């Protein structure tokens, strides 16, 4: 089953650190704290203040300025696993690469948004009879890993483009290029490690 730890280097590199960028919709609900003399911070390591605040009680961490601005791995990994990876059932996928790509979809579009887009795409692209994520997981697990990944990646690029936010397109599409590079390296390594039969 897909291992969430495989995706951590990619996610951390893609997200970077603190952000107060106003072109991001997360800027509508920033953290209520001043940091380094500035306010308006809404995201840290890819975790929005809204998400951080909403998952605190459920995941057992204190919702405060220290935890948000330092975002220790003990908190960050909980948010990634229980806020995105498991809710979209990435942990039930056989492929680390596809699990990572779908969890990243949920990270970018929210779990509900990614699920609805993914199910609609599977129906349109593959004529798959899927109405739930459990059915989607079964279908995806039956596909060729590399072929499916490439189609999924293209779908994700188009999903960003259809948001029609030109100021964000370069960043989003660069992220998809990083994802492709990272994933193809993983697939290459996997192939090299697979013994010939």
Read off the pLDDT of residues 122-139 as tens digits, 9 standing for 90 and up: 999 999 999 999 999 999
- For 141-169, the pLDDT digits (tens) are 999 999 999 999 999 999 999 999 888 88
Per-residue burial over 119-144, b = 16 or more CB atoms within 10 Å of its CB, e = otherwise:
bebbeeeeebebeebeebbeebeebe
Measured in whole angstroms, the distance separating CA 20 from the mean position of its chain's CA atoms is 20
As a whole number, mean pLDDT of residues 35-60 equals: 96
Helix axis angle, 73-80 to 8-15, nearest 10°: 110
Q: Where are the beta strands (DSSP E) in 24-183?
A: 43-44, 47-48
- Which percentage of the chain shows pLDDT scores above 90? 82
For range 71-99, the mean pLDDT? 96
Q: How confident is the model at residue 193 (pLDDT cuts 50, 70, 90)?
A: confident
**pLDDT band at residue 18 using 50, 70 and 90 as cut-offs:** very high
pLDDT level of residue 11 (50, 70, 90 thresholds): confident
Confidence label for 196 from pLDDT (cuts 50, 70 and 90)? low
**Nearest Cα to Cα of residue 158 among 196, 103, 111, 120:** 120
Dig out the tokens for 63 from the structure.
């919702």
Q: What is the pLDDT of residue 139?
A: 98
CA angle (180 as vertex; 178, 186 as ends), nearest 5: 105
- Whether 83 shows a pLDDT value over 80: the answer reads yes
Q: How far apart are CA 83 and CA 86, in angstroms?
A: 7
Position 195 scores a pLDDT of 65
Q: Where are the domains of the chain?
A: 10-84, 93-193
Per-chain mean pLDDT for the chain: 94
Q: Is the pTM higher than 0.85? A: yes
How distant is the alpha carbon of residue 120 from its chain centre?
18
pLDDT of residue 140: 98
Rounded-to-integer distance, Cα 65 and Cα 6, Å: 29
pLDDT value for 56: 98
Whether the CB-CB separation of 68 and 31 falls below 8 Å is answered with yes
What strands lie across the sheet with 47-48, from one edge to the other?
18-19, 43-44, 47-48
The predicted pLDDT at position 12 comes to 84
């Amino acid at each position: 089953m897909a291992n969430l730890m495989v995706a951590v280097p990619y996610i951390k590199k893609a997200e970077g650190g603190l952000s107060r960028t106003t072109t991001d919709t997360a800027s509508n609900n920033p953290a209520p704290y001043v940091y380094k003399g500035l306010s308006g911070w809404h995201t840290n390591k890819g975790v929005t203040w809204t998400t951080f605040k909403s998952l605190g009680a459920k995941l057992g961490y204190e919702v405060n300025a220290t935890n948000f601005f330092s975002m220790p791995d003990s908190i960050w990994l909980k948010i990634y696993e229980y806020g995105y990876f498991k809710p979209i059932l990435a942990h039930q996928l056989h492929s680390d690469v596809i699990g990572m790509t779908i969890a990243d979809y949920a990270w970018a579009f929210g779990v509900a948004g990614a699920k609805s887009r993914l199910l609609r795409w599977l129906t349109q692209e593959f004529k798959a009879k899927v109405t739930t994520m459990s059915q989607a997981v079964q279908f995806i697990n039956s596909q060729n890993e590399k072929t499916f990944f490439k189609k999924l990646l293209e779908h994700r690029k188009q999903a960003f483009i259809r948001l029609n936010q030109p100021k964000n397109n370069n960043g989003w599409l660069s992220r998809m290029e990083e994802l492709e590079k990272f994933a193809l390296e993983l697939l290459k390594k996997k192939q090299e490690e697979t013994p010939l039969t």
